[in-house]
Copies of this chain bind each other. A is one copy, B any other.
Amino acid sequence: MEKPAETIHSINNLLARRWSPRSFASQPVEPEKLQSIFEAARWAASSFNEQPWRFILATQQNPEQFQTALSCLVEANQAWASNAPVLILTLTTDRFSRNDNPNRCALHDLGLATANLSIQALELGLFVHHMAGINISKIKTIYNIPDNVTPQTAIALGYPDLAENLPEDWMRDSEKAPRTRNPFSHFIFENSYDHPSHLFNK
């Protein structure tokens, strides 16, 4: 299902087409596509080139591996993510390797990497759904996460499927709902916070 952003100003087609479906086809994701997707994440920018992103990958082709990853999501996410062919758990290393100081921007830089991942996925016909709803302490235990590494999000990845195949009303409604965003005046300022930039009309 496609629902491109209704933009005021034109943007790159991949950026406009990116959205977060819940309905995924069972079709597996080709290993070479996964390789390109993580290659894109790998080349994201990061503070001092620390590359604080870490990923744990699970595919339906290994059912036990997949069920373990699935069990680390909150129940509302498990209900639809169980159909995605690929789950990815994301983590950050929280200190700089060069001096052990805290890396204040690790989570931002993970976002740069997961954005690249999403764009490369879409280029290959695949969609991504980021999830904040994870069981952090369970991930730490199950996957032997060291101190100074923090589980952050999960990502469902796969080919999109019909909204009608989702198991619950609220999911089908959400899948078909229009995409909405704040007006520019809400988030781009100049000179002072809450003073909208003159470059944007709305």
Contacts and interface: CB of A to CB of B under 8 A. Distances in A.
A187 B153 contact: no
A146 B31 CA distance: 47
B144 A187 contact: no
B47 A132 contact: yes
DSSP class of A's interface residues: helix, strand, loop or mixed? mixed
Interface string A7-35: 11111101110111000000000011011
B188 A57 contact: yes
Given A39-B8, A65-B190, A104-B132, A57 B116 contact: no
Interface of A: 5, 7-12, 14-16, 18-20, 31-32, 34-36, 38-40, 42-45, 47, 49, 51, 53-58, 62, 65, 68, 91, 104-105, 107-116, 118-120, 123, 130, 132, 143-146, 149, 152-153, 179-182, 184, 186-194, 197, 199-200
